[in-house]
Amino acid sequence: MPTLSSLRASFDSALLKLHARTGPMTSELVRHPAAHGLGVPQLPSRLTPTTTTRSVCGFCSTGCSLTVHRDASGQAINLSPDPVYPVNLGMACPKGWEALTPLAASDRLKTPLLRNTATGQLEPVSWDVALAAFVKNFKAIQAAHGPHSLSFLSTGQIVMEEMALLGALAKFGMGMLHIDSNTRQCMATSHVAYKQSFGFDAPPFTYADFEESDALIFIGANPCIAHPIMWQRVMMNKNSPEIIVVDPRRTETAIAGTLHVPLLPKSDLTLLYGLAHLLIERGAVKQEFIDAHTRNFAEFAAFVKKFTPAHVAAATGLPVATLERIVEIIATKQRVSFWWTMGVNQGHESTRTAQAIINLALMTGNIGRPGTGANSITGQCNAMGSRLFGNASSLLGGYDFANAEHRAHVAGVLGINPAVIPSGKSWAYDQIIDGIDTGAIKGLWVIATNTAHSWINQKRFPELRSKLDFLVVQDMYGTTETAQMADLVLPAAGWGEKDGVFINSERRLGVARKVSRAPGLALADFAIFKLVAEAWGCGELFRRWESPEATFRLLRELSRGQPCEFTGIEGYDHIQNECGIQWPYLATGAETPNPKSQTPKSPSTQRRLFADGKFYTADQRAIFLFDEPRPMPELPDAAYPFLLNTGRGSSAQWHTGSRTNKSDVLRKLAPTSLYVEISPADAARLGISANAAVTVSSRRGEAAAFAVITATLQSGQLFMPMHFDAVNRLTFPAFDPHSRQPSYKACAVRIALA
């Protein structure tokens, strides 16, 4: 007989079941505070970390630090933005939040793949077979066509130690001369512009400058979605700054700013010269600074005289009042900072455009002080590392291949014979591509980039593929457009599966850590390069490069005496404990070895360059550089009446999408098929309604897209996001003569209903 109390108990439990406020599904999401001191928010219990590790993000150049949450086995299970890192202050963009997701993608490469010549299929092979094929085919090519017939295209996405090892292996061990990386597509212009103007590739700013300015001028930059964590700093500016946004499109940043300057595409050089002219006329130049610290100003002043307001207004499509307004702001504000990125860098006269920005900063004395500067916002997470240690256009550590003393010095530090260091100049990306066409390059090694998607006028690449005797692709995924064309695919570990240093936009070295196991036989790029060195027979050259951190110490030594010197850094832990360290950074108490260096002797979290007005040129003066503006190479005409602009589509997408497309969350945050933005007036004229299927075509190819009608675009212009491979079938291959960076943002197209 059930007792009364047991009856009541079962009645109570029935009532509970009637309204189940708890249970397994509820507890799955109940959040608990993490262990004290981990500094992470409340998390569901299955995601509660045992420990956390600070690691710098591997997408863009902002260089945010992520607190990676790890389980007891050390495996990363989640992450949150690092709350104390001075770059991101506890914030991350969606890509950062999702940084671990692409590691678990189902199409990760788990073994090397070799194309079976009989079946034409890529088939899994062991590492020794893969290495044997690599060495056999590449050596055969060199034997038949000379050592320079081999080339590589790499990336700004791998750590500095790997870039340096790759560059050294290729040039000192394998006899290559022509090597380049995808940083050519994003930062080459800034590199060359700084190098020519300042004597060294030295972005002068620190992120605190976003907060210190009373006027910020963004030129060809859309940080709201391209660098949202930098925009965070702009929003933290307490000075109610003027925010001028120079952009043909009314971008998110243009809307958020205080003055949008919707100039005609690629008229920025004329605009900048016109501003310089008006500033000089107004007497708003800092003559004292110019006299003490620069060269060539008089010639520049004479040159810009012809850029009268009327001329500039006609060329840029802007009213004179707008020019005057910008000049008024620059002339009256105390701390003016200039910021540029791809809108400037990707142009047919981009180096001079960047230098026109530098000239404005120099002539108005807006450099070396808080909240000022001519500041290039970098693209990839390690573009800055690649600029110093890629070993492509300059010798490791910012040295000159052509200089025998430099070669001897570098050889001495590395303990190698100076004779293995070539003195010749490397071809740039486009010249390597041309070299394939002419038959000069017969073997190509592509590392962590997706040329078949991203290269300008990309339709040409598959045609060129057939001219290559052997194509090796080294990537996390075998599914990229380029990997699909390869003869040999090498499986690489990704960000989070290896250690090393990235350098961010503000010259801050940060450490990325190994917190996740790579799948199958995938290996860190560093390990792959070591294997190639051994298999090639030049392993002896790299005995000192025994680990990423040992390599870091070599690079640290190479930096000694250079403007980028960081000999004060003890090692990875030191960088992490200091929340990243900006170069230059010398040991406390060390003698400053280079009179040109303004290295502070104690660490500080925000440091900028040129406070003393001394630049890195021989005479310590910055140089005013300028050239006559030229029309863009392919202007819209009757047959192709629209100008096509391309660029980042959203904060959730990274370049060719090989990683960001692997995240369900990121895919939700942006259109999943190719679209083209068109102004309401043009759409109405052509009978194109929202979402209509259209075809955009240029003289080189065509792309199917759906129409997005938005008044944020000027009439006569179209915009397409670069994340879809069809876009670069349309682009016109024009290059800046100094930086050889492609001009992705201007080609003539037509649009019609599909």
Of residues 545-584, which lie at the interface with another protein (CB under 8 A)? 573, 576-577, 579
Q: Using CB under 8 A, which residues numbered 475 to 514 contact another protein? A: 493, 497, 514
Part of the chain binding another protein (CB under 8 A), chosen from 113-121, 172-180, 402-410, 521-529: 521-529
Please, what's the b/e burial string for 602-612 (b: 16 or more CB within 10 A of its CB; e: otherwise)?
A: eeebbbbbbee
Site for another protein in 434-473 (CB under 8 A): none
> Which residues from 680-739 bind another protein, rule CB under 8 A?
680-681, 689-691, 693, 706, 708-715
Contact between 428 and 184 under an 8 Å Cβ cutoff? The reply is: yes
Sole binder of another protein in the list 204, 220, 262, 265 (CB under 8 A):
262
C-alpha span between 216 and 233 (Å, rounded): 12
Q: How far apart are CA 295 and CA 597, in angstroms?
A: 19
Q: Which lies closer to another protein via its Cβ, residue 43 or residue 441?
A: 43
Q: Give the integer Cα–Cα distance in Å for 751 and 158.
A: 38
In angstroms, what is the minimal distance from the CB of 739 to another protein? 29
The CA distance from 468 to 193, in Å, is 33
Amino acid in the structure at residue 213: S
Q: Which is nearer to another protein, 152 or 675 (by Cβ)?
A: 675
**Among 326, 308, 484, 383, CA closest to 157:** 383
CB of 39 to another protein, least distance (A): 6
Q: Shortest approach of another protein to residue 553 CB, angstroms?
A: 18
Shortest Å distance, C-beta 403 to another protein: 35
Segment 591 to 620, residues that bind another protein, using CB under 8 A: 605
Residue from 150, 509, 518, 623 in contact with another protein (CB under 8 A):
518
In degrees, rounded to 5, the angle at the alpha carbon of residue 159 between the alpha carbons of residues 381 and 459 is 65
* Residue 424 interacts with another protein (CB under 8 A): yes or no: no
Residues 150-189 touching another protein, rule: CB under 8 A, are none
Distance CA 418, CA 405 (A): 10
Q: Which of 124, 145, 237, 259 binds another protein (CB under 8 A)?
A: 259
Q: Which is nearer to another protein, 123 or 128 (CB)?
A: 128
Name the residue nearer to another protein (CB basis): 236 or 302. 236
Tell which one of 46, 282, 425, 601 touches another protein (CB under 8 A): 46
Tell me how far apart the alpha carbons of residues 542 and 27 are, in angstroms, rounded to a whole number. Answer: 53
Both tokens of 562, joined, read 């250079």
Give the shortest CB-537-to-another protein separation in angstroms.
7
Choosing from 110, 286, 467, 517, the residue that interacts with another protein (CB under 8 A) is 517
Binding mask 274-313 for another protein (x = CB under 8 A): ----------------------------------------
Choices 191-199, 288-296, 319-327, 432-440 (CB under 8 A): range interacting with another protein:
319-327
CB of 30 to another protein, least distance (A): 7
Among 132, 284, 440, 726, binds another protein (CB under 8 A): 132
Residue count, binding to another protein (CB under 8 A): 135
Choice from 9, 84, 302, 635 touching another protein (CB under 8 A): 84
Per CB under 8 A, 142 contacts another protein = no
Q: Cα(260)–Cα(677) distance, rounded to whole angstroms?
A: 19
Comparing CB distances to another protein, the nearer of 530 and 607 is 530
Q: How far is the CB of 436 from another protein (least distance, A)?
A: 24
Binding piece for another protein, criterion CB under 8 A, among 222-230, 335-343, 383-391, 619-627: 222-230
Select from 163, 170, 188, 229 the one that contacts another protein (CB under 8 A).
229
Which one, 41 or 412, has the nearer CB to another protein? 41
Residue closer to another protein, measured from CB, 50 or 620:
50
- Axis crossing angle, helix 268-282 with helix 320-332, rounded to the nearest 10: 60
HEC per residue, 252-282: HHHHHCCEEECCCCCCHHHHHHHHHHHHHHH
Compute the least distance from the CB of residue 86 to another protein, in Å: 4
| Residue of 122, 476, 523, 632 interacting with another protein (CB under 8 A) | 523
- Is-contact 357 340, C-beta < 8 A? yes
Is residue 39 a contact partner of residue 63, using CB atoms and an 8 Å limit? Answer: no
Residues 450 and 481 sit within 8 Å (Cβ to Cβ) = yes
Q: Does 365 bind another protein (CB under 8 A)?
A: no
Smallest distance, another protein to C-beta of residue 673, A = 5
Q: 89: exposed, middle or buried (C-beta count within 10 Å: 0-12, 13-18, 19+)?
A: middle
d(CA 462, CA 439): 15
Q: Tell which positions 630-689 bind another protein, by CB under 8 A.
A: 650-652, 664-666, 668-673, 675, 679-681, 689
| Binding residue (CB under 8 A) for another protein from 322, 480, 504, 739 | 322
> Residue 29 burial by CB count (10 A; 0-12/13-18/19+): exposed, middle or buried?
exposed
Provide the strand spans (E) within 16-121.
Answer: 31-32, 43-44, 51-56, 65-70, 76-81, 113-115
What b/e readout covers 168-206, taking b as 16+ CB neighbours within 10 angstroms? bbbbbbbbbbbbbbbbbbbbbbbbbbbbbbbbbbbbbbb
Question: Are 178 and 153 within 8 A, CB to CB?
Answer: no
| Burial environment of residue 411 by CB neighbours within 10 A (0 to 12, 13 to 18, 19 or more) | middle
| Shortest reach from residue 486's CB to another protein, in Å | 20
336 near 364, Cβ under 8 Å?
Answer: yes
